[in-house]
Chains A and B, each alone.
Chain A
Amino acid sequence: MSKTLFEKIWNSHLVLEEENGPSLLYIDRHLIHEVTSPQAFEGLRLNNRKVRRPDLTIATEDHNVPTRNRSLPIVDQVSSIQIKTLEKNCKDFGIQLFGINNPNQGIVHVIGPQLGITLPGSTIVCGDSHTSTQGAFGALAFGIGTSEVEHVLATQTIWMEKLKPFEIRVEGERKNPFAVTAKDIILSIIRRIGTAGGTGTVIEYRGEIISELSMEQRMTICNMSIEAGARAGLIAPDEKTFEYLRGKKYTPKNYEELVDEWRENLKTDSNAKFDKSFTLDAKNLAPQVSWGTNPAMVSDVTEKIPFPEEFAKDLGQQKGVEKALQYMDLKPGIPITDICIDRVFIGSCTNARLEDLIAASKVVKGKKVSSKVRAMVVPGSQMVKKQAEDLGIDKIFIDANFEWRESGCSMCLGMNPDILGPGERCASTSNRNFEGRQGVGGRTHLVSPVMAAAAAIKGHFVDVREMDLN
């Protein structure tokens, strides 16, 4: 029988399945970090349990780590305790940790692929909703809560309700792929299907535009699947996928044999049925800017802030838009390009990989950040940071008055000192524009790295397609 890629991975990991009941799924890789793991380890200790497969469990410190000078002690005592707790837990239970001073430290979803931990056809979980990022490699990767983290630590399995496959095709030739990026594709998809459009599903992204994207761009797309309510995003692996993972630190020794097998099996059969389907036409896609307080509240950069009445078909949505505009302190009818910003954040598991930084640096090169703006770049991992520095990209940013930081989640979720002040407005390459996400009273506009870089230079949003680039 014809099957989708999701069903093939699901079926090959089933330990137990009951009709109309729960499924017990085997987990190939478990990534952990300092924030969602402490209670899980505490649970293991209380019940005198061991970690079943420490060899399949990998830890890093990313969520609350400071991004300034790492040779200094952590000032925030509560963060410091959380970090020390993870270090102790990893030591006690025999888990490999890429700690704060390790050259492989970084945002968990960035280091997984960079180290070759993320493999096609595998199941990957992490106590973080953006685990979906790693679906770009054809892995079934999804976020879990701390009780489930404990369950996976103890058993290497997880109880699941079967998810439904959702096909999203991206077709039509993009004009100006430098300015109209993977971020614009995924924001545009969420704008159209809504924040709950993918609830209960795994989205498989397909079509000619998805095939054209690089691995890092595909990760940006899969990363934000959760923002559409989907548990995971998935892209069938191809030669780009296999090449990306070749020769990494943890790439298996029999890699070429595995590639032969993946090439043969890891794709959706031609007659396979999806529960849902949606197609995005990328032909007339413009750079996207979010103006509200959820990732579906997005417009083209060429548009104006919408009037709540435009959403009159749905009273709940109309009220949501009114409330969002009030929080964002924006008036309907003003052009997006009239919105002035105070801060720029280029970072996060959505958009802080090497290609993101290279693209943004092309916009920034030879220019200066607007005197009204404070801008920062937080590389997704220490490896990304080093690669960028080897290319001299750090200098381009520093010369333009960007701050160049150490890696971590940073201002994406406001757990470390990198936060917005009340009322501050930020062009951010991250994934969530929820109220207070980047700091109490902070106002977030989600954009691509090139759009964030352009806004940093001009002090307001600007259509990056119209920028004079060197």
Chain B
Amino acid sequence: MKGNVIKYEQDNIDTDVILPGTYLKIHDYAELATHAMEGLDPDFHSKVKEGDFIVAGRNFGCGSSREHAPIALTRSGIKAVLALSFARIFYRNAVDGAFLLPIEIDEDAYKDISNGDELEINIDTNEINNHTKNKKYQMKPFSEIIGKIIAAGGLFKFKP
């Protein structure tokens, strides 16, 4: 999995800025995607490319249980969010619907990765390669159940 970084150097990026409540009425996923990150970065939709990664601080996705948040990011092209930590409902939503990968990174990686960097993520080896900076980081491995749901391709395909 290879892509470029859109970095938001802040903690507590909540579901209300990832997808503002007024858009929860929208049923069409493609339309939902046009409003992703609108509360934080109105230019997001114009700059995001297929395969990009978001890098952010602690407690990413805190707040509402709206699955519209990971859906809007995924439909925008985001394949993974790399954060210092995640709020748990967002984390599970991201994995359950096989929308995007929520990847926990450490402080060193967080500080080192810059906006626009090209990363390659390998979830089998838990390695993140920063091709721009020619560096390697370790991601926190997924727990057993999360790893299994990801491998199965979502909650409904998962068998213990």
A binding-site residues for B, Cβ under 8 Å: 16, 18, 20-22, 24, 35-36, 38-39, 43, 47, 63-64, 76, 78-79, 81-82, 127-129, 143-148, 150-151, 159, 161, 195-196, 199-200, 226, 229, 231, 294, 316-317, 319-320, 323, 413-415, 419, 432, 434-437, 439-440
Contacts and interface: CB of A to CB of B under 8 A. Distances in A.
B143 A161 contact: yes
Q: Chain A contact residues: over half helix, strand or loop, or mixed?
A: loop
B77 interface: no
Given A38-B27, A161-B143, A147 B14 contact: no
Interface stretch (B55-63, B113-121, B124-132): B55-63
Q: Chain B contact residues: over half helix, strand or loop, or mixed?
A: loop
A196 B87 contact: yes
B21 to A, nearest CB: 4
Chain B contact patch, size range: 35 or more
B84 to A, nearest CB: 8
B151 to A, nearest CB: 13
Contact of A151 (B22, B63, B155): B155
Interface of B: 9-12, 14, 16-17, 20-22, 24-27, 39-40, 57-59, 62-67, 85, 87-89, 92-93, 96-97, 143-146, 148-149, 154-156, 158, 160
Contacts of A434: 14, 16-17, 39, 63
B140 to A, nearest CB: 13
Given A22-B148, A415-B21, A150 B156 contact: yes
Contact of A18 (B24, B96, B146, B160): B160
Please name the 9 residue pairs, one residue from A and one from B, whose CB atoms are nearest each other, closest first.
A145-B93, A22-B145, A147-B96, A143-B65, A145-B67, A146-B67, A434-B16, A413-B21, A196-B59
Contacts of A128: 64-65
Contacts of B39: 434-436, 440
Contacts of A196: 12, 58-59, 62, 85, 87
17 contacts: A24-B160, A47-B156, A64-B24, A81-B25, A145-B65, A145-B89, A150-B156, A195-B62, A196-B85, A199-B85, A229-B59, A432-B14, A435-B40, A436-B20, A437-B21, A439-B22, A440-B22
Contact of B65 (A21, A129, A415, A419): A129
Contacts of A78: 25-26
Contacts of B87: 196, 199, 229
Nearest to A437: B16
A421 B23 CA distance: 17
Given A35-B24, A64-B25, A436-B20, A294 B65 contact: no
A211 B22 CA distance: 38
A203 B93 CA distance: 21
A36 B66 contact: yes
B57 A127 contact: no
A318 B26 CA distance: 36
A31 to B, nearest CB: 12
B156 A231 contact: no
Contacts of A146: 67, 93, 97
A294 B10 CA distance: 13
A129 B156 contact: no
B59 A435 contact: no
Contact of A147 (B9, B24, B58, B155): B155
Contact of B12 (A79, A226, A320, A440): A320
Contacts of A20: 144
Nearest to B84: A316
A38 B66 CA distance: 12
A348 to B, nearest CB: 13
B144 A21 contact: yes
A16 B160 CA distance: 10
Contacts of B58: 196, 316
Contacts of B156: 43, 47, 147, 150-151
Interface centre among B22, B25, B39 (most CB of A within 10 A): B25
A129 B16 contact: no
Contacts of A143: 65, 89
A47 B156 CA distance: 11
Interface centre among A18, A317, A435 (most CB of B within 10 A): A435
A129 B156 CA distance: 22
Contacts of B24: 35, 63-64, 415
B145 A294 contact: no
B25 A435 contact: no
A323 B25 CA distance: 29
A319 B10 contact: yes
Nearest to B143: A161
